[in-house]
Amino acid sequence: MRRYFELSRTQTYSLLFAIPLLLLYEAGAAWVATTSDAPLRNGADVLIRALLAMGGLHSTVGFTAFLVAVAAFAVAVEWRRRKVRGLEPGVFAGMMAESALYALLFGMVVGTATQWVLEGAGFRLAADQGGTMAQLPLAEGIVLSLGAGIYEELLFRVLLAGGLFVLFRSGGLPRTRSGVFAALLSALAFSAFHYVGPYGDPWQLQSFTFRFLAGLTFSGLFLLRGFGIAAWTHALYDVFLLLFMVGG
């Protein structure tokens, strides 16, 4: 188990584990585009695309190839430093099982924390009806769920939280305080992001609080278990929630 946790936390396993999620989302979005009048994209995906478009990346193929190339470079650097030698398929299977377990526990843990926070502040926790995602066709909802896993974790955990951490550290803040502030601010941005755009939900205190605490939880998962497991946990949680709402 110790070897599994060490290997699954490396950039090699984490990034290689995340690439299939990226490809599944891109393939799903391309398929939905052939059956729908309007292109379907996760909001974080659109924002990152807009930023990279300033550097000349406009096509989906070029954009996806760029992300895969960055991941491949990070893996190559780690292999060159001999931190990982060879691949063990069983580790990837364990990472998928771990992500599925976290996804199943996620709603219960964060929901309980949300209830405790709101009731402690004098608010009652209302039932969440799922928002606009539940109103989409199932296939489109699943595609957006996969996109949320890969691109929201990339945007809010890797780029925003990581960037804020570097910024605070360069400003002279201690490492722990920089990490806490970066996690809090990125979690606030993550929660607010869900109320913006055509697929944004109507603002509610309980859903905002739940998503803020979810952002903190994903930040902790990203730091402790790496990007790949955080991304798959996020994606699977959204898929499980969508299937539960449709089935209910």
CA neighbor of 75 nearest in space, from 17, 147, 154, 25: 17
Answer yes or no: are the C-beta atoms of 199 and 132 closer than 8 Å: yes
Per-residue confidence (pLDDT) for residue 151, from 0 to 100: 94
The sign of the dihedral angle between the CA atoms of 129, 132, 136, 141 is negative
CA–CA distance, 128 with 142 (Å, rounded to integer): 19
- Find the mean pLDDT for residues 17-27: 94
Pair of tokens at residue 98: 């771990």
Position 127 scores a pLDDT of 42
Q: Is pLDDT at 136 greater than 80 in this prediction?
A: no
SS3 54: coil
Taking a C-beta distance cutoff of 8 angstroms, is the pair 192, 204 a contact? no
Give the 3-state secondary structure of residue 56: coil
DSSP assignment of 13-48 equals HHHHHHHHHHHHHHHHHHHHHHH-SS----HHHHHH
Give pLDDT tens digits for 103-131.
999 988 998 888 888 876 555 444 444 55
Q: Select from 87, 201, 189 the least CA-distant residue to 136.
A: 201
The pLDDT, as a whole number, for residue 59 is 75
Dist CA 53 CA 181 (whole Å): 30
Classify residue 125 as exposed, middle or buried by CB count within 10 Å of its CB (0-12, 13-18, 19+).
middle
Residue 129's pLDDT is 43
The band of 37, judged by pLDDT with boundaries at 50, 70 and 90, is low
- In the structure encoding, which two tokens stand for residue 21, read together? 């999620």
Which residues 6+ apart lie within 8 Å of 162 measured at CB? 182
Q: What is the CA radius of gyration of the chain?
A: 18
- Contact in structure between 44 and 193 (CB atoms under 8 Å): yes
Burial of 192-204, coded b for 16+ CB within 10 Å and e otherwise, reads ebbeeeebebeee
Block residue for tokens 């939880």: 217
Asked whether residue 140 carries a pLDDT value surpassing 60, the answer given is yes
Q: How far apart are CA 181 and CA 227, in angstroms?
A: 19
Q: Quick: pLDDT tens for 41-71.
A: 778 888 888 887 887 777 778 888 888 999 9
Report the predicted TM-score, pTM, of the whole model to 2 decimal places: 0.88
Does pLDDT of 199 surpass 70? no
Q: What is the dihedral of CA 147, 150, 155, 157, to 10 degrees?
A: 140
Q: What is the pLDDT of residue 99?
A: 97
Total residues found in the chain within this entry: 248
